[in-house]
Amino acid sequence: MFESGPVQYLVLADRAVPYLLARVRWPDVCQAISAASPEWLDDPGLFDLPYDPSAVSLSFVQAASVAAGWGRRLSSEPAEDAPSYLRRMPAYWSDLTPSELRTWGIEFVGRRRAAARRLGVGRAQLPKTATKRRSHPRLRLDGRAHIRSESTTISAGLVELDERGVQCVLPEASPLVEPGSTLSGPFLLEAEVNASRICLNVPGRISWHQNTEAGTHFGVAFGDLAAGETDGVRWFLAAARRKRRPR
């Protein structure tokens, strides 16, 4: 006999954009979905995923946001009678075979996102002072930020974002967003304007907050973003900017 622990939720991301969501509990739960394959699939290779350095551990709230972006409602119970995928063992999630990529519909993983490059077009021709001012373009956004800090998830309104940090708003004050407080991450950000999502596996620090009649506004300074995460933020901002641009 064994004692079942809590289900773990994990995501794989390409330049911070989630492409595979898994739920794992040894030895009875090993299921995943992707944007191209939104039906739960059993895969014993998922038992190796929590030990892969590329996997990001999410809270249930963050995982539910990823699933919702793919048109799925995340249940706390595993799917029954899910089809099984027989694969090579052990599983190497950082180096998937062509068959594995096709099964999950993620052949695009590793390709460059053109939208991320467009954000920097023309920057080389700007004067140095202008380049410095625009090196971290900030954009006002409507959306949600689901921020995990240890065992707690803060779900706040998304207000502004750039490569250095994010501004959010809560309806009420919270001791978790006092200036100087640290947040372990990850950050799951979703934009309402185009339903895009990115996952930043970095810690953060509350840099300021202000209580107003509209709620508690606070700023978070990100830790160091990986190169792929920087690309993800630029893609996220560029996609939102194009969606808001008048036709």
163 with 197, same domain?
Answer: yes
Q: Does 153 reside within a domain?
A: yes
Q: Which of 231, 112, 217 is nearest to 168 (CA)?
A: 217
pTM score, whole prediction: 0.86
Residues of the chain with pLDDT under 50: 1-3, 112-134, 247
**Secondary structure element (H or E) that encloses residue 147, with its range:** strand 139-149
Q: Does 109 reside within a domain?
A: no
Q: Does 38 reside within a domain?
A: yes
151 with 179, same domain?
Answer: yes
Structural domain of 210: 114-244
pLDDT, tens digit, 9 for 90 and up, residues 110-159: 664 444 444 333 333 333 333 333 456 789 999 999 999 999 999 999 99
Q: Does 21 reside within a domain?
A: yes
Give Cβ neighbours of residue 228 (< 8 Å, ≥ 6 apart).
13, 14, 15, 16
Domain boundary among 52, 81, 104: 104
The pLDDT score that the predictor gives to residue 193 is: 81
The pLDDT score that the predictor gives to residue 201 is: 98
Q: Which residues of 191-206 are buried (b: 16+ CB within 10 A; e: fewer)?
A: beeeebbbbbbbbbeb
Domain count, the chain: 2
138 with 212, same domain?
Answer: yes
The pLDDT score that the predictor gives to residue 111 is: 62
User: In angstroms, what CA-CA distances link 185 with 26, 57, 200?
Assistant: 24, 9, 8
The pLDDT score that the predictor gives to residue 208 is: 96
